[in-house]
Amino acid sequence: MNSPINVVILAAGLGTRMKSKRAKVLHRVGGLTLVEHVVNAAAGITPPEHITVVVGSQAEQVQAALAHTGVRFVEQTEQKGTGHALMMCRDALAPQGGLVVVTYGDGPLLSRATLQELVDRQAGVDRAATLITTRLEDPTGYGRIILGKDGEVQAIVEQKAATPQQLSIPLINSGIYCFRADLLWKHIAEIGTDNPAREYYLTDIVEILSRAGHKVAALEVPDSEELLGINTRAELASVDKIFRERKVRELMLEGVTIEKPETVTIDCAVRIGADSIVGPFAQILGPSDIGEDCRIGACSIVENSKLADRVHIAPFTSIADSKVDADAHIGPFARLRAGNRVGAGAHIGNFVELKNTQFGAGAKANHLAYLGDAEIGDKTNIGAGTITCNYDGVKKHRTRIGKAAFIGSNSTLVAPLEIGDSSYIGAGSVITDPVPAEALGLGRSRQVVKGGWASKQKRKK
């Protein structure tokens, strides 16, 4: 069977119940936007499909968030309901036939497996559609599934339009459907706005199809968690918690030790090698990649960074957009801002800040330093209080320090500047001119000692 499968994700609503300036589908759980999670699930089904996302509220931002996924977009300029949103796709999709899978951009927990099962149930059968349902202890807010005597779905009744008896039905509409394209597009225009919200409810299509003599089946899934839709910030937080718990469980099963797992925040895209240890309250964010036998200390934050094997990050350290080679030791209380490369076995200690700096293998900056726009050679030692003056108020300049150099404490290195291999800088120097290899650079006033000065002062009084 070669009929195409088109997936449509409805993501045009603002999400009034979020009380946010940002469109609901752009809010994040597990480190990704809600709509990215849905696209990921849809992208996993077979055979290969086209994914169309209906955008409207903050269309540009939603398109930007999904640009990397290669999905197509259709615009719904006015948000007149889920039925209306799907109508926007008719011209593009009706000629293709096949199957149309519809899902909502606010249900990020949906798995590929469940979506695939839905498609497999509907593929090659006569009936008009199959939809996913589950039983909820508290179904408040969801549409309810009305079953006929034969177990087929007769209608979906929205919360606002339901009778007290219908409200007691525990079977809910997940908002995930698979339609025969020919019947969907033939009947979609029959959806009206005769309901309390005056919206085109996609859910009405079920009753329309069933009255026209077509069958709609329900696929009941036992794990209702993956069908949770997000409408409020409270639901956003509880779904985020589910993603965090899943991620730490998955990592622990893969051989990562996580201390106090309920306190750590690890994004979905993070990878961590076996025998690494993550301390309490650590956050590992973005697409970070941590090697084996690493240690991420308590309360440290690692974002969009790559750490090789056996890297030790001591507590309260912040690392963003950086690369760290094997056996390096960083922190406690260190800050690696953007664009750093730390060499193998290097040491970076407390209150050291690096920005856009190449820090050589085995080099050390153990305390209190700022190294910005710098290259530090292998095995060079940076004394406490060393500052690269990389900014003259207008432009940034680079500092290049060679290998095995020794920069004395409290040195002020005024960039642009070159300091050669195996050279020395005397403590307390302000260095403005190049220092060649093997040389000693001094840039400080001489000490003066006045003998007996204190007692002379006292006699004057």
Residues binding ligand UD1 (CB under 6 A): 10-13, 25, 54, 56, 76, 79-82, 84-85, 104-107, 142-143, 156, 158, 172-175, 201-203, 229, 231
Q: Rounded to an integer, what distance in angstroms lies between the CA atom of residue 459 and that of residue 461? A: 5
The answer to whether 384 and 347 are in contact (CB under 8 A) is no
Phi and psi for 146 in degrees, rounded to 5?
-100, 115
As a three-state string, the secondary structure of 256-277 is CEECCHHHCEECCCCEECCCCE
* Nearest distance in Å: CB 156, ligand UD1: 6
Among ligand UD1, Ca ion, none, what does residue 441 contact (CB within 5–8 Å per kind)?
Answer: none
Q: Rounded to an integer, what distance in angstroms lies between the CA atom of residue 330 and that of residue 302? A: 12
> Nearer Cβ to Ca ion, position 229 or 383?
229
* Nearest distance in Å: CB 22, Ca ion: 16
Contacts of 179 (CB under 8 A, 6+ apart): 99, 100, 101, 102, 122, 128, 129, 205
- Please say whether the dihedral angle defined by the alpha carbons of residues 181, 186, 191 and 192, taken in this order, is positive or negative: positive
* Nearest distance in Å: CB 159, ligand UD1: 8
3-state secondary structure of 456: helix
* Nearest distance in Å: CB 166, Ca ion: 19
Question: Position of tokens 């900014």?
Answer: 391
Q: Rounded to an integer, what distance in angstroms lies between the CA atom of residue 346 and that of residue 344? A: 6
> Nearer Cβ to ligand UD1, position 52 or 357?
52
> Nearer Cβ to ligand UD1, position 85 or 181?
85
Taking CB atoms, the residue at the shortest distance from ligand UD1 is 143
Among Ca ion, ligand UD1, none, what does residue 207 contact (CB within 5–8 Å per kind)?
Answer: none
Number of neighbours of residue 176 by Cβ within 10 angstroms = 25
Phi and psi for 143 in degrees, rounded to 5?
-70, 145
Among Ca ion, ligand UD1, none, what does residue 13 contact (CB within 5–8 Å per kind)?
Answer: ligand UD1
Tell me, yes or no, if 367 is annotated catalytic: yes
* Nearest distance in Å: CB 214, ligand UD1: 19
Query: Exactly one of 37, 84, 312, 367 is catalytic; which is it?
Result: 367
**Residue 398: alpha-carbon gap to chain centroid:** 33
Taking CB atoms, the residue at the shortest distance from Ca ion is 229
Q: The tokens of 153 are what?
A: 């779905």
* Nearest distance in Å: CB 117, ligand UD1: 18
Among ligand UD1, Ca ion, none, what does residue 10 contact (CB within 5–8 Å per kind)?
Answer: ligand UD1
Q: The tokens of 151 are what?
A: 């177990």
> Nearer Cβ to Ca ion, position 18 or 32?
18
Cis peptide before 332 (omega within 30 of 0): yes
The answer to whether 144 and 135 are in contact (CB under 8 A) is no
Catalytic positions are: 367
